[in-house]
Every structure is written in structure tokens, then in C-alpha cells.
Structure 1
Amino acid sequence: MSCFTCKVFGEENTDCQGVLQQCENDDDFCATQIESSRIGNDNRVIVRKRCMPAANKNVCRPEPMKLDCTKLILSLYSECCFEDGCNSNGLKIPADNTTKNGHQCPTCFVENSNTCPCSKTELKECTGNANTCLEFSGHVQRPEDVEKLYAFKGCVDGNLCKTDLSKLPGCEVGSDAKLTCT
């Protein structure tokens, strides 16, 4: 399998031009991904094309996977294909599903700490396919930023809980990361 590979940073991007590269494993597939990580008004967007390991096929979804902790919103959209050079096109991102789904989760967001103080936790109504509660602590380096320690809780698409966090297209998650989904 051969896939186009490239990576570009910037909120206005939905595509990047890459080179065709041979994948490492026979069961790899091609992916074009866009990741948006918004903390307050600071939105970091990265588009990436690459070979993906078969274990990460759960990222191939018809709608974006979303994590919503009120102050932090992470959205990951992936288009996957299974033929040589099939990921040459840009993305057409579906609209965000903001319909409340009846699920609620504790939510909080703290920088420079590995715990959310009880006083900072509120209840959030989940939307779209985010029907799982997530708790995270650990170091993360967002695109074009320095590594920071974060703790957060919120609503998440359960498929994001099954994703190898080291394979995110933009954010680099540290080895100290602890992720619990309920």
C-alpha cells in the first residue's frame, strides 16, 4: 500500500500536497485527517495525510469524533481509503452535530495540573455522538505550541477512547497520559 503523506498547520486548510510513500505494513490504510484543538479562542488546526496502521480503523467514521470539555474542544475527522494513492483529495468536513443526546458528564479543564479540583467541575450536556465521559491527565503538545500539563473531563465520542493517542495528526500526547472513559 502506498499513501500520500504531508502535514500542514493553519485554520484555513482542508488539504495538503504530499508525496506518495510506501506504507510499513501490508494491512495499513491511507488516511486524510483534520484535527482542531480549541482552548478558549486559540484554535490549532492541522491537516495530515499518511499511512495508518490497521489497529486505528476506528478513526474512519462518517462524522468527526469530538471531545468537549467546555473550555477545550478537540475534533478529529478522518477520511480513510484502501487503495494505492487514494488519499490525494482534500477533506469535505461534515457539519458538527450539536443536538443534545441526553447524556451528561462532569466537565473541567485545568492547565499545569494533573487533577481537576472538585470546585472546578460542572455538569455538561453532551451532543452528537459524544456519549461517553472522559477523564484525562498528562502532558500534551498542541501544534505550534510548547508541551503543557493538562487535566480535563468532559463528553467524548467513545471511538476516540479506542484511538491510539500517539497517532493523532496534530497533538502529541506524552507517555505520562492517563485516559479513562466511562
Structure 2
Amino acid sequence: MAKNIGILVCVLIMVLDIAAGILGIEAEVSQGKVKHMKMWIFECREPSYTAYKLGLAAAILLALAHTIANILGGCICVSSKADYTNASANKQLAVASLVFSWLILAVGFSMLIIGTMANSTSRKSCGFPHRRLLSIGGILCFLHGMITVAYYVSATAAHREIEKHRNPTPRLSSPA
């Protein structure tokens, strides 16, 4: 049963990120349905409460997927470039995918939050348009899912390698 939990974690991460991506894209569609007026580079439009709710839900699901992967994946740390180059392939992949997942989280989460706050009911003002932020944030959720699953799988494999080196299987000696 313990080996099947890894598959369930990967599926959970992907489902959360796919749901976040779909919600982000749906928020963009909902935002496009409200009345707006454009004057030169400024745009005046009514906020969409539906886009606000969908964008907020997408941001929460993205953060939840990232948190689950990082907690269950464990900590994979390297202290120097030499440590990184001497590490196993699984550890190198875990470190690289961890860095990319944090970068994608930062950009995607920021885009979702900015797009969501632009649809807050307290923002009935004119300003620079926040176009496509919710849909780009939604697309980044899909990419985040793939990178985060790669992190979880490679981090789990790296932890198993470390445990195997610490506790080698005892050799059975044959009677003489």
C-alpha cells in the first residue's frame, strides 16, 4: 500500500493544478463578458464577481498543490555547485524541478492574484488593462502540475537512494 501512495499524490497534484488552470481560464472568460470601455491606453470596466471567485479559487488550488508536493516530496538540498554536480541524477532533477516549480508558482500565483484583484467589487475605477492575466496564470497552472509531479517523483527517488546507501541490505553468508 505504501508504494501506491506515490501514484495517488501525483494524481492529486495533477488534479489540483488542472482544476486551477481550468478555473483561471474560466475566470478570464467570465471577465470578458462584463461591459468595458477603452480610451487610449486606459480601460474602464465593471468588475466581474464570477471572475473574482474563480480566480481566487484557482490561486488557492495552485498554492495547495504546491504545498502538498513540497511537504510530501521532502527537502532536497544542495549547498554548492560541486555538491550539485556530484549528486545523483534523481537529486539533480529534483533540485532543478524544485527551482522551476517555485518560479512558476511565483509568476502564476501573482498573475492569478492580480487578475482576481482587478475583479474585486471595490475596484470600479479606470486604469491600465489587466488582459489575459487570468488565462496566462491558468496555463501556468498546467505547467506547474507537470514540473511539480516531476519534483515529487525525483525527490522520492532521491530519498530512496539515500536510504539505500545508509541501510544497505545485509548479505546472506553461505555456510562453509
Report the TM-score when normalising by structure 2. 0.19
Query: Which structure would you say has the larger Rg?
Result: 2
Which structure has greater helix proportion?
A: 2
* Structure with bigger RCO (C-alpha 8 Å, 6+ apart): 2
Report the TM-score when normalising by structure 1. 0.19
